[in-house]
């Protein structure tokens, strides 16, 4: 923290916009940081005085530094050194997540911020360049390895619960799916007793990586479909379904475990065979893909979309556990989508003499009818989704997250 050597001033007068508050407990006394710590004093006219707390951290004994870090409630870093702080977080994530005195909300914020940056790098990478793609995938694996003890703990769900209900964002969604995968797998180790010659710690990391990367193929989907302010029509829905195959093709040369690739490819397969991309049924669907499917849908239902408010965890799981009384009708609409069937109605306008206007009006009627069928399909789906999931895995998921104080789902457990 040698402010003088790094050319950073030891004192500033600023409105606060040039500084970022951090928790002093997140500073590892065994790690010589590459940024300076400041304290803040209020001044007149919404100005603050920022004074460097340590010119050189090596100038005092480690024991004294630990005392100071515990005594300070908050410290600040200059935003010019924010990249140095981010690099520090990457190297000391385990220290922060294991620190008993750091608030779980702070741990969650730190992990989410770093994870978002790593996932954004993946989504912005050109997978045409193997060395580049390998590096960003390795960064995900490294991040997961450092965070796995934290995110696989039931206690961490108290932090993850703070992320439930917010706007749907592909990056945050991926983080939550990976997080919940780690927690579920660690709490249900008996499901994986068949792993005889595989180290379980390696397996849980690989499974969590699948959660972090399961939607990477969405970078190949047109932005106007991904960001549509409304429900997807049938053609858009079919295009969206291709993201699972895109994901696998992009990651094919990265030597990820078979179970990871299967989870990514098949995480939209339904137990009754009505899912995609292959229409697999029951035991043909890999176990990890079944788990990822449950978690993926749970987070999607509990996230806010431009066209819908988020459902509570209870309401989302109620939909997921209930049998659909209109399953035949729902499957009819789903088959129309899968087969890309045109709207099965005919529009005839008789009171328009102009042929061109008549065709335009007929086309508009058919488009409106198609939109109605999309709304009906979504509404029917929300009547019950039990046919989509393995009943035992879904029940285990409910039991697992209900162990956290932040989820109250006892009414769903028989």
Q: What pLDDT, on the 0 to 100 scale, is given for residue 131?
A: 63
Question: What residue segments make up the domains of the chain, in order of their start?
Answer: 1-85, 103-308, 329-380
Q: What pLDDT, on the 0 to 100 scale, is given for residue 3?
A: 42
What pLDDT, in 10s, does the model give residues 336-354?
776 666 667 677 778 888 8
What pLDDT, in 10s, does the model give residues 224-266?
888 888 778 778 888 999 999 999 999 988 889 999 999 999 9
Q: What pLDDT, on the 0 to 100 scale, is given for residue 366?
A: 72
Write the CB contacts of 54 (distance below 8 Å, at least 6 apart in sequence): 1, 3, 36, 37, 60, 68
* Cα(182)–Cα(400) distance, integer angstroms: 11
Q: What pLDDT, on the 0 to 100 scale, is given for residue 264?
A: 97
| Inter-axis angle of helices 170-187 and 200-213, nearest 10 | 160
Q: What pLDDT, on the 0 to 100 scale, is given for residue 381?
A: 79
The class level of CATH for 103-308 reads: mainly alpha
Write out residues in the chain with pLDDT < 70, as ranges. Answer: 1-8, 55-58, 128-131, 338-343, 345, 412-414
Q: Where are the alpha helices (DSSP H) in 152-199?
A: 157-160, 170-187
Write the CB contacts of 55 (distance below 8 Å, at least 6 apart in sequence): 1, 2, 3, 4, 10
Cα angle value 12/16/20 (rounded, 5°) = 100
Q: What pLDDT, on the 0 to 100 scale, is given for residue 154?
A: 94
What pLDDT, in 10s, does the model give residues 153-176?
999 999 999 888 887 888 899 999
Q: What pLDDT, on the 0 to 100 scale, is given for residue 129?
A: 66
The pTM (predicted TM-score) of the whole model is: 0.86
* φ/ψ of residue 362, rounded to 5: -65, -40
Q: Where are the alpha helices (DSSP H) in 214-302?
A: 223-226, 234-241, 243-251, 258-266, 287-301
């Amino acid at each position: 923290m040698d402010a003088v050597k790094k050319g950073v001033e030891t004192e500033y007068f600023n409105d606060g916009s040039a500084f970022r508050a951090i928790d002093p407990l997140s500073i590892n006394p065994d790690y010589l940081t590459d940024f300076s710590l400041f304290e803040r004093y209020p001044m007149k006219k919404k100005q603050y005085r920022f004074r460097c707390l340590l010119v050189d951290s090596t100038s005092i004994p480690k024991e004294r530094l630990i005392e100071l870090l515990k005594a300070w409630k908050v410290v600040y870093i200059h935003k010019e050194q924010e990249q140095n702080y981010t690099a520090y977080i990457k190297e000391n994530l385990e220290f922060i997540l294991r620190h008993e005195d750091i608030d779980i909300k702070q741990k969650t914020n730190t992990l989410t911020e770093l994870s978002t940056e790593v996932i954004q790098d993946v989504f912005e990478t050109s997978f045409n360049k193997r060395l580049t793609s390998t590096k960003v995938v390795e960064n995900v694996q490294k991040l997961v390895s450092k965070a796995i003890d934290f995110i696989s703990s039931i206690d961490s769900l108290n932090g993850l619960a703070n992320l439930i209900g917010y706007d749907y964002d592909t990056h945050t969604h991926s983080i939550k799916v990976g997080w919940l995968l780690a927690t579920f797998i660690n709490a249900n180790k008996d499901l994986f007793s068949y792993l005889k010659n595989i180290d379980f710690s390696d397996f849980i990391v690989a499974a969590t990586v699948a959660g972090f990367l399961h939607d990477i193929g969405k970078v190949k989907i047109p932005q106007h479909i991904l960001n549509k302010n409304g429900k997807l029509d049938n053609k858009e829905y079919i295009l969206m379904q291709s993201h699972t195959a895109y994901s696998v093709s992009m990651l094919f040369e990265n030597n990820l475990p078979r179970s990871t690739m299967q989870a990514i490819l098949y995480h939209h397969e339904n137990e009754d065979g009505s899912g995609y991309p292959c229409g697999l049924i029951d035991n043909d669907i890999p176990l990890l893909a079944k788990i990822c499917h449950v978690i993926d849908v749970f987070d999607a239902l509990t996230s806010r979309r431009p066209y819908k408010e988020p459902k509570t965890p209870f309401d989302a799981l109620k939909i997921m556990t209930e049998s659909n009384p209109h399953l035949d009708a729902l499957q009819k609409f789903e088959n129309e989508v899968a087969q890309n069937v045109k709207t099965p109605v005919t529009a005839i306008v008789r009171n328009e003499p102009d042929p061109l206007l008549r065709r335009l009006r007929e086309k508009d009627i058919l488009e409106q009818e198609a939109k109605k069928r999309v709304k009906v399909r979504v509404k029917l789906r929300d009547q019950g989704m039990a046919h989509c999931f393995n009943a035992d895995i879904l029940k285990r998921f409910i039991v697992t997250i209900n162990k956290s104080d932040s989820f109250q789902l006892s009414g769903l457990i028989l």
